[in-house]
Structure 1
Amino acid sequence: MSEPDLSEYAAMWTTERDQWELRRVGGVYLPITKGDQPRVQLICDDTLADEVTTRMLQAGVTVVDVV
């Protein structure tokens, strides 16, 4: 099985890391842009979404628990 192409999302945990946060809803993380009008980044491929989330967590992107 090949590795997912992360190049489209890499800025989320590198150059634009401070513009993103992960909102944890139950056991699911949603990547959201910060700001007055937060927007979720939908990733329809589960494997790709898991890898993006892992990279964001490893890079120290802020995690916000939603209750």
Structure 2
Amino acid sequence: MGIRDTFDKAKKLAGKHSDKVEQGLDKGAEQAKQRTGGKYDEHIDKADEAAGDYVRKQGEQDQER
């Protein structure tokens, strides 16, 4: 199993469990904000939103299959 296969498998799992992945992303973002003392909140929020959008799209694609 190569890296591409592993990545594809991870995307499928993320799609199937998108709600749990999004919860984890949100928790990670909150931890990052705390550890940086609020200095990078805007950047962290933007990254969290982009990652959440990606996971939601994977979940939608998984449901279509």
Q: Please confirm whether the aligned pair reaches a TM-score higher than 0.5, indicating the same fold.
A: no
Structure-1-length-normalised TM-score: 0.31
More helix by share: 2
Greater relative CO (CA pairs within 8 A, separation 6+): 2
Larger Rg: 2
More strand by share: 1
